[in-house]
Amino acid sequence: MAAPMLRWGCPGTRWALAGIGGGFRHRRGASIGSTPNPTREQSTVAQKPLHTAQKLRKGEHKWAAVVGLEIHAQISSNSKLFSGSQVCFAAPPNSLVSFFDASLPGTLPVLNRRCVEAAVMTGLALNCHINKKSSFDRKHYFYADLPAGYQITQQRLPIAANGSLAYSVCVGKKRGQLVSKRVRIKQIQLEQDSGKSLHDDLRAQTLIDLNRAGVGLLEVVLEPDLSCGEEAAAVVRELQLILQALGTSQANMAEGQLRVDANISVHHPGEPLGIRTEVKNLNSIRFLAKAIDYEIQRQINELETGGKILNETRSFDSKLGCTVPMRDKEGKQDYRFMPEPNLPPLVLYDSTTLPAGVDSQQVINIDQIRDMLPELPSVTREQLVQQYGLLPEHSVTLLNEVGLLEFFQNVIKETRAEPKKVASWVLNTFLGYLKQQNLTVSESPVTPSALAELLDLLERKAISSSVAKQVFQELWRGQGKTAAQIVSEQKLELLQDPAALEQLCLATMEEHPQVVTVVGEGGRGSRPDTFP
Return per-residue pLDDT of the chain as tens, 532 residues. 444 444 444 443 333 323 333 333 333 333 333 333 333 333 333 344 444 434 445 544 689 999 999 999 999 999 999 999 999 998 999 999 999 999 999 999 999 999 999 999 999 999 999 999 999 999 998 888 899 999 999 999 999 999 999 999 988 776 778 899 999 999 999 999 999 998 888 898 999 999 999 999 999 999 999 999 999 999 999 999 999 999 999 999 999 999 999 999 999 999 999 999 999 999 999 999 999 999 999 999 999 999 999 999 999 999 999 999 988 765 667 889 999 999 999 999 998 988 888 887 789 999 999 999 999 999 999 999 999 999 999 999 999 999 999 999 999 999 999 999 999 999 999 999 999 999 999 999 999 999 999 999 999 999 999 999 999 999 999 888 999 999 999 888 886 667 767 777 888 888 888 887 776 666 554 445 554 4
Residue 144 exposed, middle or buried by CB count within 10 Å (0-12, 13-18, 19+): exposed
In angstroms, rounded to a whole number, what is the distance separating the alpha carbons of residues 211 and 196? 8
Q: CA of 147: how far to CAs of 85, 194, 347, in Å?
A: 16, 9, 28
pTM for this structure? 0.81
Domain membership flag for residue 348: no
Domain membership flag for residue 317: yes
Number of domains in the chain: 2
Residues 255 and 333 in one domain: yes
Q: Are residues 302 and 57 in contact, defined by beta-carbon separation less than 8 angstroms?
A: no
Domain membership flag for residue 240: yes
**The pLDDT of residue 507:** 82
**The pLDDT of residue 499:** 72
**The pLDDT of residue 6:** 47
Residues 272 and 420 in one domain: no
Residues 162 and 100 in one domain: yes
Residues 410 and 280 in one domain: no
Residues 228 and 107 in one domain: yes
Residues 313 and 395 in one domain: no
Q: Are residues 2 and 344 in contact, defined by beta-carbon separation less than 8 angstroms?
A: yes
**The pLDDT of residue 292:** 97
Residues 404 and 327 in one domain: no
Residues 147 and 223 in one domain: yes
Q: Which domain holds residue 398?
A: 377-490
Residues 288 and 387 in one domain: no
Dihedral sign for Cα 423, 424, 427, 430, please. negative
CA 304 to chain centre: 34
Residues 142 and 78 in one domain: yes
Residues 385 and 330 in one domain: no
Domain membership flag for residue 9: no
Domain membership flag for residue 386: yes
Nearest to 232 by CA among 309, 286, 161, 294: 286
Domain membership flag for residue 15: no
Residue 325's DSSP bridge partners are 314
**The pLDDT of residue 496:** 66
Domain membership flag for residue 30: no
First to last CA, the chain: 95
Q: Are residues 291 and 284 in contact, defined by beta-carbon separation less than 8 angstroms?
A: no
Residues 123 and 216 in one domain: yes
Nearest to 144 by CA among 83, 107, 103, 196: 196
Domain membership flag for residue 506: no
Identify the domain boundary among 287, 310, 339. 339
